[in-house]
Structure 1
Amino acid sequence: MLSSRLSSRRRLRAAVLAAASAALVAAALPSPQPLGIGDPLFPHLGNPGYDVVSYDVAFTYSGSNSKPLDAVTKIDAWATQKLDRVNLDFTHGAVRTVEVNGLPAEFASAGEDLVIEPVVAVQRGSRMLITVTHTSDPRGPKDAGGWVQTRDGLAMANQADAAHRVFPSNDHPADKAYFTFRVTAPKALTVVANGTRVAKTAGATTTTWAYRTSHPMAAELAQVSIGRSAVVTREGPHGLPVRDVVPTADRTAMERWLKKTPSHLEWMEAKVGRYPFETYGVLVADADTGFELETQTLSLFERSLFTTAAYPEWAVDSIMVHELAHHWFGNSVSPLGWSDLWLNEGHATWYEALYAEEKSDKPMEQRMRAAYTNSDRWRAAGGPPAAPKPPLPGQKISLFRPVVYDGSALVLYALREEIGKDVFERLEREWVREHEHGTASTADFTGLASRLAGRDLSAFFQAWLYGTKTPPMPGHPDWRSTAPKKAASARDTAPRTR
């Protein structure tokens, strides 16, 4: 008995000494500060020192958008360096408690970072489980991103850097992870999220829904839809489950659009290979966002896109293909940095335009000549395709300028003219195959293009991707670009697609 007591006392003394030592280390640490991984467009986005494996995010929604949701976010990650502190991206919510590996941790806000100080430093190469109990606030400027208030609930629009307005995360596409969403909502509402449903539990007045992704995802592509919705299922190519989410009242009216998705999938697969995820679908949100968005496995669309006469049918079809194309270019193959955004939007715009050419007799050459005419003006407004200017202060979505859409599709058109259609089409398929479910950079793309073309294309890409003036178009020496006559707007009529 005496031996047991002595052993207990030794353990207690060791714990006290360890805690005291940790307190001394903490006292020596500098004040909490926001960190980043060095992205020149978003200096404080992402965090060094760890690699997230998975997120488990739980929300409780009362049915009202006038108050914050209760939430718990669990982050499972590997430490890539010793961490006396751990920074997460998180803002616009109240943090209640934080635990690291089951022990309560101190925390503070610094800029848009949540800075966590574990009791015991996290060693390099070790696993850490962070649990944050917090709120998630759907209120705020609608153009800030994060939660989108719909007329019957909520949806998400986190691009480019607004996921951390919803839940704590390593909010940069360079760190992709698996996601599980658990949402408790009033029984009258339907919840749908990225991936596939893995559980549904009904209570007396609420239902808890759980969804899980089968492939890694960037936080900016997260999607949770809560509302009075109908979930419409059908089969896509090779048995792919297709599920669309629409306001219940619009179920019949939306069918003329929803039934197009399997043929869109077939067309894209014929161009670049098999669809890379476990399911696909269209989420029609009854909200005024001003854009559509490629949230992974469930693309977000404004209801008005399908219900007004503002856009002809061929244009709506092409916009639907644009968001679908992102599932190869941007979702499966994610940008290593935000300056690589042209790879996402240029390719999605390319297939949007190619679909319009093949299905609706809208010549690609005509669209690209118009883009060439405007290219110098777009470059002056937003920078070259692979070296875009930072977004305007307080207007983060101003990053999505015409130069990263038609201006970047123009680069792909020039590349096809330079290396020929056969090599170009092989490049497209090899690109999405080689980097599937990973991240890749502009240098990766230009290197692959040179390899497949059998010659060094560095001078071509230097001019087209980084030049302030648009180079001559191969095969079209008569094309001219109009220089801006005055200072151009940084937004410069950006397209509605993302």
Structure 2
Amino acid sequence: MSRRSRTSAAALAALALLATGCADLGSGVRGTPGAAGLRDPYFPKLGNGGYDVGHYGLTLAYDPASGRLDGTAEITARATQDLSAFNLDLAGLTVRGATVDGAPAAYNRAGNELTLRPREELPEGAEFRATVTYSGVPEPITDADGSEEGWLRAPDGAVAVGEPTGSMAWFPGNHHPSDKASYDLTLTLPARFEGLSNGVRTARRTEPDGRVTTVWHTPEPMASYLATVVIGRYETTTATALGTVPVLTAAEPPAVAGSAALRKEVPGILARQVKRFGPYPFSAAGVVVTGNKSLDYALETQSRPLFPADSFDRSTLVHEQAHQWFGDSVTPKSWRDIWLNEGFATYAEWLYAEEYEHVPARTRFERAFAQDANWAFPPAAPPSAENLFDPPVYQRGAMVLHKLRETVGDRVFDGILRGWAAKYRHANATTDDFTSYAEAVAGRDLDALWDVWLHGDGKPARP
């Protein structure tokens, strides 16, 4: 206020004229920078505002001996505001250059934020293409709970996993689950290594220098945390599921024999889940069984879940395959809604055990009810990022679904499961979306159920 009071009227007029002239020159001053973060409850700086990604074209070359990754990310997006600049999430790695619509763009780094400033403003609604070239030795990212994700290197290769933030370790992007996109990934490796990713392998060729390039296509929308690259000495097998869906499974040599029988069951398990959940949402399927010792958890990487060799069992396979519907196709709008992934996939285990192993879901429910760890917090409100993958999200989340089933009956409950997967196919959803949808299908108010089992702080007196 005081500074403006000392500015003369003539000076103000001159400043106004200068500003008008700059705008007329197309310098981009009318646009504003996109937000550096989407204010997720647990990761406020994750993701970026001002644009929506439609497609990622990733071209990667990796040297397992040195750990060096050379990459080019071509990102096709649509501006959702007049943009003077926009951000991408990228951890580590060195940016070598950037363009927007073919013209060089200025860029700078601040922590995990890569800011690109195009030569010209990007008007709201315009589609644009940003290209970033980068290189370096990608590193793991340590989660709040102490587990590792990102780029997990091994003596004979690497595994890239991204839940919840690790994909920024190997490519720049809008790394929040609310911005899903299709992918094409081209991966070049020394000839003795196999490279795997999501979707359908559309090409395999030998380069003049002897390296081998594979190309992978994922046409359906995918959250970046579900993207993967797996590099190693894998043996692969192929099959067909559901009549037309290609199935590719892979295992590293020490795990080939022990995993072979269960890998053959993938088409059958998918067929059983289709009966319960509705049409399979993707154009490819499969599993990867890795011996990478840095990975100590299975992950529902889209169309091709990833398993450590020592956790590849039928129950875990059922869980990760169920995620293809609940988590991968129907993706949470924010990380607060993670129970929509894990509660549903856990209940899929209970349903499978009930139908094919003759263990009633009610028995699994009572076991979960008796475990104190499942009552640490409501499944729809983990207290911090450290708790996103704690027992209440999984087991109490599944209990919510079982109580819903008991309340509305099997016929209505089955309709809710199938309808939910269909209504939000390839989209994002929230907890409120689910409770509203369930009530609409059931034709009744279910607040009493949600208040106790989904949002309640304490353990009910009776299961």
1:464: Cα distance to partner? 2.3
1:19: Cα distance to partner? 11
1:201: Cα distance to partner? 2.1
1:99: Cα distance to partner? 0.8
1:222: Cα distance to partner? 0.2
Q: Which residue of 2 aligns with 1:386?
A: 380
Give the aligned residue type for 1:168: P
Q: Which residue of 2 aligns with 1:113?
A: 113
2:35, 2:245 → 1: CA distance? Answer: 42
CA deviations on 1:75-112 (whole Å, 9 max, x unpaired) are: 00000001111011111211111111111111112232
CA deviations on 1:18-77 (whole Å, 9 max, x unpaired) are: 799677959x98xx997212211111111111110100011111232x433011101000
CA deviations on 1:369-416 (whole Å, 9 max, x unpaired) are: 1222235x4443xx3111111224xxxxx4211111011001111111
- Aligned counterpart in structure 2 of residue 446 of structure 1, from 412, 435, 443: 435
Which has the larger displacement, 326-335 or 261-270?
261-270
1:132, 1:399 → 2: CA distance? Answer: 32
Give the aligned residue type for 1:276: P
8 Å CA contact 1:36–1:47 kept in 2: the answer is: yes
Compared CA separation, residues 25 and 33, structure 1 to 2 (3 A):
closer
1:198, 1:446 → 2: CA distance? Answer: 40
Q: Which residue of 1 aligns with 2:3?
A: none
Q: Which residue of 2 aligns with 1:46?
A: 47
1:338 equivalent to 2:335? Answer: yes
- Aligned counterpart in structure 2 of residue 196 of structure 1, from 200, 211, 233: 200
8 Å CA contact 1:371–1:407 kept in 2: the answer is: yes
Give the aligned residue type for 2:231: I
Compared CA separation, residues 136 and 273, structure 1 to 2 (3 A):
farther
Q: Which residue of 2 aligns with 1:86?
A: 86
8 Å CA contact 1:292–1:301 kept in 2: the answer is: yes
Give runs of aligned pairs for residues 214-233 of structure 1, distance below 5 A. 214-233=219-238
Which has the larger displacement, 459-468 or 288-297?
459-468
Compared CA separation, residues 426 and 135, structure 1 to 2 (3 A):
same
2:62, 2:248 → 1: CA distance? Answer: 23
8 Å CA contact 2:58–2:72 kept in 1: the answer is: yes
- Unpaired runs of at least 5, structure 2: 1-20
Q: Which residue of 2 aligns with 1:285?
A: 290
- Unpaired runs of at least 5, structure 1: 1-16, 307-315, 393-397, 480-498
Compared CA separation, residues 348 and 121, structure 1 to 2 (3 A):
same
- Aligned counterpart in structure 2 of residue 466 of structure 1, from 441, 455, 458: 455
1:415 equivalent to 2:398? Answer: no
The count of corresponding residues between Structure 1 and Structure 2 is 437
User: Secondary structure at 1:290's aligned position in 2?
Assistant: coil
Q: Which residue of 1 aligns with 2:130?
A: 130
8 Å CA contact 2:140–2:152 kept in 1: the answer is: no
Q: Which residue of 1 aligns with 2:212?
A: 207
2:337, 2:165 → 1: CA distance? Answer: 15
Q: Which residue of 2 aligns with 1:363?
A: 360
Q: Which residue of 1 aligns with 2:13?
A: none
User: Secondary structure at 2:38's aligned position in 1?
Assistant: coil
User: Secondary structure at 1:266's aligned position in 2?
Assistant: helix
CA RMSD of aligned residues (A): 2.3
Give the aligned residue type for 2:47: G
8 Å CA contact 2:254–2:291 kept in 1: the answer is: no
Q: Which residue of 2 aligns with 1:294?
A: 300
User: Secondary structure at 1:85's aligned position in 2?
Assistant: strand
Which has the larger displacement, 272-281 or 327-336?
272-281
Q: Which residue of 2 aligns with 1:243?
A: 248
Compared CA separation, residues 470 and 22, structure 1 to 2 (3 A):
farther
2:247, 2:67 → 1: CA distance? Answer: 33
Compared CA separation, residues 102 and 424, structure 1 to 2 (3 A):
same
1:144, 1:109 → 2: CA distance? Answer: 24
Q: Which residue of 1 aligns with 2:272?
A: 267
1:262, 1:350 → 2: CA distance? Answer: 20
- Aligned counterpart in structure 2 of residue 373 of structure 1, from 370, 377, 380: 370
Give the aligned residue type for 2:296: G
1:290, 1:63 → 2: CA distance? Answer: 21
8 Å CA contact 1:299–1:323 kept in 2: the answer is: yes
User: Secondary structure at 2:187's aligned position in 1?
Assistant: strand
- TM-score normalised to structure 2 length: 0.89
User: Secondary structure at 2:311's aligned position in 1?
Assistant: helix
8 Å CA contact 1:67–1:139 kept in 2: the answer is: no
1:187 equivalent to 2:188? Answer: no
Compared CA separation, residues 254 and 358, structure 1 to 2 (3 A):
same
2:28, 2:300 → 1: CA distance? Answer: 47
1:82, 1:471 → 2: CA distance? Answer: 51
Q: Which residue of 2 aligns with 1:73?
A: 73
Q: Which residue of 2 aligns with 1:322?
A: 319
1:254: Cα distance to partner? 2.5
Compared CA separation, residues 136 and 277, structure 1 to 2 (3 A):
farther
- TM-score normalised to structure 1 length: 0.83
CA deviations on 1:303-346 (whole Å, 9 max, x unpaired) are: 1235xxxxxxxxx2111000000000000111111111101100
Give the aligned residue type for 1:209: T
